[in-house]
């Protein structure tokens, strides 16, 4: 009954409210920090309005701080959702007022609202309807504020409104799907943990009673085979008596059922035959040795093999018993914990599902930045594959093996897809231009490194456990640096460029060379190889070029096979 009460809908709703309250405080503090920090972007990009925008931001920051103070009062805590929704709408209004000053719908400053939605929805435990409602209200604040503050609306403004609305609703839909996955896994995880806690409590209670029963019976029926049999016949776990050679001398009926045999059929057999091969050395070398020394053994988990070949999970306790006529024996009590192990496995799978959902959301956001160019539909997945090939080869290098670990490779493959996420802030007129960019347009294009770094820096503050966001920030900012120091945006050279950015730089260039673009045909593998080798030591790290040459046939094969496989996946 205790387990049923703990997992009731009322209790689950209370826990979800507490979780929403905790996440709301986190979001409000993030609003305080990032609304203040993004004043730096105002100073850089729109200095004439810096003073006005700073007043907007400080007003929002003061509102967020006021909300945090109010949430300390229990009577206000009940209205946490209203406070959080009001804070997000105020943030959207603040950014919308800035866009009015910067050209209305034409201004790219609306991207700040998209980042606010993506960050807030990934933190708050929202269901689909709540996410869609809040996203729709946020869009209305943006659309109406700009429409009322920047009129009349010309044809160019209408085009940008349609474009911005498309990305706005795409972000809302993606984050709503993420919210659905996270809410489901959160609820399943809560239920599984509650059930596991209740089960552990019952098992512990039963274990305490069982051990007390054994102690009392052993005190009353000491050194008597007949009394041992009476105890074994009334205990629900496997109770077995073995001699110094691990031969079974006595087993209770429940133990025989546990091993799928009969007491008569099991007596005289080696107990080690019922221990799986992987656990036998530990049993003989550790458990039996400790029992021989007179020590008690408790809580040893092992897998056992029944007479029919079925594997069951057990938890073993034991002690030495000196029989009057038969000498030294060992009494073992083994509890069936198969159900507990299965529950633990399900809890672990739930946690892994949460990670998978978040990673899928990140990949979806990266795809959102890429999908503005119809020619790069599978670019992200190719970059991830090329990056994995290079990193795997570099793991065998003596000077880099300690850096390129298995964990590094997995984080690199995950974060590599974020390398061009900053392009969401580049106007379509520049990003999709088929011809040569002008110097001004090229300068604007280069700013995508900074845009992406700022966006991921904001997300990374709220996801300390996701180290791939920190690596992704390095990649987005530095994957256009050159080994000789002539790259951008910082002009780093040599090993001052992060290793992850150096690896992605080569993978990105290879894919760009071998892919069709509006301004060029696709190069062959041999042509791309020649250009990469030529740039070794100037654009690329020579060590990474050597790794590419060792894996070049895999690059070539992956390039030919990838589009067909990707079409099925997508």
Q: Tokens for 282, please give them.
A: 């530990």
Specify whether the CB–CB gap between 415 and 471 falls below 8 A. Answer: yes
pLDDT at residue 568 greater than cutoff 50 = no
C-alpha 66/C-alpha 52 separation (Å) is 21
pLDDT (mean) for 312-327: 76
Q: Which two tokens stand for residue 508?
A: 């990105």
| Range scoring the smallest mean pLDDT among 195-204, 289-298, 473-482 | 195-204
SS3 552: helix
Same domain, yes or no, for 359 and 440? no
- Are 352 and 494 found together in one domain? no
Q: What is the pLDDT of residue 228?
A: 52
Q: Are residues 298 and 358 in the same domain?
A: no
- 206 within domain boundaries: no
Sign of the CA dihedral running 516, 520, 521, 522: negative
Both 288 and 248 in one domain: the answer is yes
Mean pLDDT comparison of 226-235, 352-361, 517-526, highest-scoring range: 517-526
Which residues sit opposite 297 in a β-bridge? Answer: 318
| Whole-number average pLDDT of the chain | 79
Instruction: Judge if 407 and 519 occupy the same domain.
Output: yes
On whether both 394 and 311 belong to a single domain, the answer is no
- The domain total for the chain is 3
From 167-171, 396-400, 439-443, the region with the lowest mean pLDDT: 167-171
Residues 536, 397 share a domain: yes
What Å distances lie between residue 517 and 379, 384, 520, 567, CA to CA? 12, 20, 5, 19
User: Would you state the pLDDT for residue 564?
Assistant: 42
> Does a structural domain hold residue 561?
yes
Q: Tell me what pLDDT residue 174 has.
A: 83
DSSP string, 386-425: HHHHHHHHHTT-TTTTTTS-HHHHHHHHHHHTTTTGGGGG
User: How many Å is the Cα radius of gyration of the chain?
Assistant: 32
CATH number reported for the structural domain that contains residue 287 in this entry:
3.30.450.20
> How much of the chain is in helix, strand and coil states, percent to nearest 5?
70, 10, 20
Could you tell me the CA-to-CA distances from 354 to 189, 207, 361 in Å, in that order?
9, 33, 11
Torsion of CA 9, 10, 11, 17, to 10 degrees: 100
Considering 87-101, 208-222, 492-506, the range whose residues carry the highest mean pLDDT is: 492-506
d(CA 259, CA 255): 6
14 and 147: one domain? yes
> Do 168 and 228 sit in the same domain of this protein?
no
Length of the chain equals 570
What single-letter DSSP state applies at residue 286?
Answer: I
Report pLDDT for 537: 94
Residue 371 inside a domain? The answer is no
- How sure is the predictor about 565, in pLDDT bands with cuts at 50, 70 and 90? very low
Q: What is the pLDDT of residues 227-271, one digit of tens each?
A: 555 555 666 677 878 887 778 877 877 777 777 778 777 788 888
Strand 238-243: give its sheet, edge to edge: 248-251, 238-243, 327-336, 311-323, 297-305
Residue 215 lies in a domain: no
Nearest to 404 by CA among 475, 532, 503: 503
Q: What would the mean pLDDT of 75-96 be, rounded to a whole number? A: 89
> What integer pLDDT is reported at residue 372 of this predicted model?
55
What pLDDT is attached to residue 466?
47
pLDDT band at residue 460, thresholds of 50, 70 and 90?
low
How far is CA 492 from its chain centroid?
A: 31
Count CA within 13 A, CB hemisphere, residue 333.
25
| Axis-axis angle for helices 128-149, 111-123 (nearest 10) | 160
Distance, in Å, from the CA atom of 167 to the CA atom of 117, rounded to the nearest integer, reads 12
Question: Residue 325: what pLDDT?
Answer: 63
* Residue 205 forms part of a structural domain: no
Residue 565 to residue 418: CA distance in whole angstroms? 21
Phi, psi for 14 (deg, rounded to 5): -65, -40
Helix or strand holding residue 411 (H, E): helix 406-416
For residue 318, being part of any structural domain is answered with yes
Q: Do residue 355 and residue 458 come from a single domain?
A: no
Q: Is the pLDDT of residue 223 over 80?
A: no
pLDDT at site 332: 81
Beta strands in 259-379, from DSSP E residues, in sequence order = 297-305, 311-323, 327-336
Q: How confident is the model at residue 521 (pLDDT cuts 50, 70, 90)?
A: confident
DSSP 291-308: HHTT--EEEEEEEEE-TT
Same domain, 159 and 268: no
Give 347's pLDDT tier (boundaries 50, 70, 90).
low
Question: What is the number of alpha carbons within 13 Å of residue 233 lying toward its C-beta?
Answer: 6
User: How high is the pLDDT of residue 388?
Assistant: 95
pLDDT in tens, 420-433: 888 878 887 887 77
CATH number reported for the structural domain that contains residue 445 in this entry: 1.10.3210.10
Average pLDDT over residues 284-304: 78
Say if residue 381's pLDDT is above 90. Answer: no
Expressed as residue numbers, the domain containing 399 is 380-569
Backbone dihedral angles phi then psi of residue 222, each to the nearest 5 degrees: -60, 140
> Residue 375's pLDDT is what?
47
* Predicted confidence band of residue 493 (pLDDT cuts 50, 70, 90): very high
Mean pLDDT of 335-358: 62
């Amino acid at each position: 009954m205790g387990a049923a009460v703990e997992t009731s809908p009322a209790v689950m709703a209370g826990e979800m409210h507490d979780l929403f309250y905790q996440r709301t405080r986190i979001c409000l503090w993030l609003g305080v920090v990032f609304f203040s920090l993004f004043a730096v972007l105002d100073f850089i990009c729109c200095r004439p309005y810096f003073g006005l925008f700073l007043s907007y931001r400080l007003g929002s920051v003061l509102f967020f701080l006021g909300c945090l103070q109010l949430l300390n009062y229990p009577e206000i805590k009940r209205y946490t959702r209203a406070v959080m929704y009001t804070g997000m709408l105020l943030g959207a209004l603040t950014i919308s007022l800035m866009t009015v000053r910067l050209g209305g719908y034409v201004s790219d400053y609306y991207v700040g609202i998209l980042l606010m939605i993506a960050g807030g929805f990934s933190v708050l435990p929202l269901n689909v309807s709540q996410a869609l409602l809040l996203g729709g209200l946020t869009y209305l604040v943006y659309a109406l504020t700009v429409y009322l503050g920047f009129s009349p609306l010309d044809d160019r403004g209408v085009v940008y409104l349609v474009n911005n609305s498309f990305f706005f609703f795409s972000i809302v839909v993606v984050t709503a799907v993420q919210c659905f996955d996270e809410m489901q896994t959160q609820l399943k995880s809560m239920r599984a943990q509650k059930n596991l806690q209740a089960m552990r409590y019952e098992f512990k209670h039963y274990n305490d009673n069982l051990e007390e029963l054994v102690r009392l019976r052993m005190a009353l029926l000491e050194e008597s085979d007949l009394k041992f049999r009476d105890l074994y016949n009334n205990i629900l776990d496997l109770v077995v008596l073995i001699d110094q050679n691990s031969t079974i001398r006595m087993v209770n009926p429940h133990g025989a059922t546990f091993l799928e045999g009969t007491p008569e059929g099991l007596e005289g057999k080696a107990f080690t035959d019922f221990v799986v091969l992987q656990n036998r050395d530990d049993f003989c070398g550790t458990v039996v040795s400790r029992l021989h020394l007179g020590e008690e053994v408790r809580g040893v988990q092992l897998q056992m093999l029944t007479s029919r070949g079925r594997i069951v999970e057990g938890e073993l306790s034991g002690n030495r018993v000196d029989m009057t006529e038969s000498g030294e024996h060992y009494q073992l009590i083994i509890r069936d914990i198969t159900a507990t192990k299965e529950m633990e496995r399900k809890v672990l799978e739930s946690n892994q599902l949460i990670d998978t959902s978040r990673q899928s959301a990140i990949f979806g956001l990266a795809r959102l930045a890429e999908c503005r160019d119809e020619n790069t539909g599978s670019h992200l997945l190719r970059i991830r594959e090329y990056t994995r090939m290079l990193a795997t080869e570099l793991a065998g290098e003596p000077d880099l093996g300690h850096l390129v670990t298995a964990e590094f490779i997995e984080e690199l493959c995950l974060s590599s897809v974020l390398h061009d996420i900053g392009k969401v802030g580049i106007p379509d007129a520049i990003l999709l231009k088929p011809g040569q960019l002008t110097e001004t347009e090229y300068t604007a294009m280069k700013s995508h490194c900074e845009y992406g770094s700022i966006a991921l820096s904001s997300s990374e503050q709220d996801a300390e456990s996701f180290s791939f966001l920190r690596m992704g920030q390095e990649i987005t900012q530095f994957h256009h640096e050159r080994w000789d120091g002539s790259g951008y945006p910082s002009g780093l050279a040599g090993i001052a460029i992060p290793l992850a950015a150096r690896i992605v730089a080569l993978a990105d260039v290879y894919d760009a060379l071998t892919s069709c673009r509006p301004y060029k045909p696709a190069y062959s593998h041999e042509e791309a190889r020649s250009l990469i080798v030529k740039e070794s030591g100037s654009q690329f790290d020579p060590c990474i070029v050597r790794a590419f040459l060792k894996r070049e046939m895999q690059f070539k094969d992956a390039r030919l096979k990838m589009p067909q496989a990707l079409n099925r996946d997508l």
